[in-house]
Structure 1
Amino acid sequence: MSFFSFGKKKNTETEQEANTPAANAGHAIASVKILGSGCASCNQLEKATKEALQERGLSVEIEHVRDFADISAYGVMSTPALVVNETVLSFGKVLKKKDVLALLETFAGTAGQ
């Protein structure tokens, strides 16, 4: 029996880095999710994300996750949050279109192209 993660096997550095934007650089954007209750901030982030995706010429449908059990599974404690290909890129703040574009470019590995 282990308490507070004592006695549990720790993740290797490779496993921890596998789900970061840097590890996903160069990958196509297949799914985009907005995590949040559907409040005004969540809707603003969704709008900015739609505009950023359109500007990049991507036709990816945005899923809005409102169930707090599902949101907590991503390790997100404050919303709204932006998730791309199951990787949390941002949480706890409303991003503007230019901020979303920068995150998408970093994620997809197209910065400076």
Structure 2
Amino acid sequence: MGLFGKKKTEKVEVSSLVKILGSGCAKCNTLEDNTVEALKMLGKEMPVEHVTDFSKIAAYGVMTTPALVYDQKVLIAGRVAKAEEIAELLKEVMA
């Protein structure tokens, strides 16, 4: 009887709220570094995922990288922002 058997447990992949979209070029890496710095400025500890798959990047509607995504929303695209600007943007969307 499967009615009282063990429950199946599935691993659910938890996606990061903060993502950098880009090929891994110098600008993408700089945006990632600036984002990590901005999170530190805000006192937030969270992983920053770097997405390099172009089909996934295009799914966000981003045609020019690097881009910064928070909670599936593109905040910056096509340029490298300074840590202070990123902190302000993140503060607004996290509120």
Scaled to the shorter chain, the TM-score interval is 0.7 to 0.9
Aligned twin of 2:65: 79
Matched, 1:104 2:66: no
Give the distance between the partners of 1:89 and 1:43, measured in 2 at CA. Answer: 17
Shift of the alpha carbon at 1:90? 0.7
Match of 1:51 in 2: 37
Aligned counterpart in structure 1 of residue 81 of structure 2, from 67, 80, 95? 95
- Provide the alpha-carbon RMSD of the alignment: 1.0
* 5+ residue gaps, structure 1: 1-29
Q: Which is greater in Rg?
A: 2
- Give me the whole-angstrom Cα distance separating, in 1, the residues matched to 2:84 and 2:42: 11
Write the distance in 2 (CA, Å) between the matches of 1:72 and 1:50.
Answer: 23
Q: Unpaired runs of 5+ in structure 2? A: 1-15
* 1:76 maps to amino acid: V
| 3-state SS in 2 of match to 1:42 | helix
- How many pairs align? 80
Structure 1 residues 57-83: Cα deviation after superposition (integer angstroms, max 9, x where no partner): 111100000000000000000000000
* Residues 10-69 of structure 1, C-alpha deviations (whole Å, 9 max, x = no match): xxxxxxxxxxxxxxxxxxxx6100000000000000000000101111111000000000
Residue identity opposite 1:46 in structure 2: E
Structure 1 segments, 4+ long, off by >4 Å, are none
Q: 1:34 matched to which residue of 2?
A: 20
TM-score normalised by the chain length of structure 1: 0.68
TM-score by length of 2: 0.81
Q: Deviations over 1:82-107 (max 9, x none)?
A: 00011111100000001101111121
